[in-house]
Amino acid sequence: MNEEQVWLEQARQGDKAAFGKLIEAYQTPVYNLAYRMLNNAGEAEEAAQEAFIRAYTRLDSYNPEHKFSTWMLSITSNYCIDLIRKRRALLLSIDEPLPPHPALMSDNSKGPEAQVVMNEQQAMVQTLLQELPEDYRQTVVLRYWYDLSYDEIADMMDTTVSAIKSRLFRARRLLAEVGQEAGLDPVRDSAALTAVS
Amino acid sequence: MEHEETYLLMMDALDGELAEAQHSELEAHLRACPSCLQEWQALLAVHTLLQQTPALSPAVDFAQRTLARLPNRRVRIWTLTAIYALLLLGGILPLALAVWLVFILRPVLSEPTILSSISQSIGQALQVMGTIVWALLAGLGEMVVQQPAIVGWLLVLLGIISIWGGVSRQLIFQTSPRQTS
Ligand SMILES: [Zn+2]
């Protein structure tokens, strides 16, 4: 048994501290997923907390043959999708002013200039992602930040590999189009051609 | 080669799944077709941007605050066990009682006259129940035809009851209170 399996077993028996170790280990992937999906620091934190609470109460239904990280991400992304759909159903404005992510403001380790560049990059990414319908966004986020295979994403979203492929295809073309409109520099000719091989 | 086909090659290239022969195929098309080259440059720009953007972390005390909101699993486990045990007893006790009764009354029950009278009375009871249900259904049918307004009101009432059921479930089964940071 590795460390994670020990924590899981202890958590299953009601040991909150053991589950705390798991929260610490997975807080960034879970929070990042929620933030990319919801584009709002407060909502993302609330959703990430809710995802961990759900995981804790449903620990009995977790199948140890799967990776815990995948299970956790699947709970988080499904919860975010539900939230987005509910939000739309309630007709609340999605275009409300969004607070900037606090971590972007506080991290000065790379020096102020590098920080400004990084903030711009994060802002551009969020702008692009928000242009996608939520299921496309989910696919893109899972693919790019979590390095999941088409198989794993299809499994998680309860659909087929070909559906995921076509979703990613359309999402990428949409992002490319919006990226150009938003002023994202296209890759130069020579670099683009060498990238093929 | 068609442009559409090229797009598919571009996707495989982004996923790093382009076969050797397809590399040159894609490159040749890109050199010859400005519109596909433009698309490829834009796709590559977004792809690179996404690949190079690090994940965002939550606030430093996130884990601590989440931990404080966790419901109590031990209590839940004990409650579930107790309910399970009660259900089990609820099922087993009457069964055991019936088996015991049959065992005690076996000599009496094996008398043919008693057996036939038991089956007769069960048959009669079923008949009576059938009559009652039939009368109820017929009455209901008549009411629907004659008083559609009453049926409408009943439906509204059901709606209200189900809404309140949902609200109270939300209130009862909510996890620990939300923490404001
Ligand atoms: Zn072309």
ipTM metric:
0.87
Average pLDDT of chain A to the nearest whole number:
89
Chain B residues with beta carbon closer than 8 angstroms to that of A152 = none
B36: closest CA of chain A, how far (Å): 11
Closest CA in chain B for residue A56: B70
Specify the CATH number of the domain A110-187: 1.10.10.10
- Asked if A51 contacts A79 with a C-beta cutoff of 8 angstroms, the reply is yes
Interior CA angle at A55 toward A51 and A59, to 5°? 175
Domain ranges of chain A: 1-92, 110-187
How many Å lie between the alpha carbon of B53 and the closest alpha carbon of chain A? 7
Residue B38 touches partner A, C-beta closer than 8 Å:
yes
> Under a CB-based contact definition with an 8 Å cutoff, are residues B58 and A47 in contact?
no
Q: Count contacts between A and B (CB, < 8 Å).
A: 153
Q: What are phi and psi of A22, to 5 degrees?
A: -65, -40
The answer to whether residue A140 neighbours chain B at the CB level (below 8 Å) is yes
Q: How confident is the model at residue A91 (pLDDT cuts 50, 70, 90)?
A: low
- The predicted pLDDT at position A109 comes to 54
CA of residue B47 to ligand 1 center, whole Å: 20
Query: Given CB atoms, is B79 within the 8 Å cutoff of chain A?
Result: no
Give the chain A residue nearest B38 (alpha carbons). Answer: A186
Query: For A184, which DSSP code?
Result: P
Indicate the fold that domain A1-92 takes in CATH: Rna Polymerase Sigma Factor; Chain: A (1.10.1740)
How far is residue A121's CA from residue A123's CA, in Å, rounded to a whole number? 5
State residue B154's pLDDT score. 86
Distance CA B60, CA A31 (A): 12
Q: How far, in Å, CA of A175 to CA of A191, rounded?
A: 20
Quickly state the pLDDT bin for B150 (edges 50, 70, 90). Answer: confident
With CA atoms as reference, the chain B residue closest to A193 would be B27
Q: Does B26 touch chain A (CB under 8 A)?
A: yes
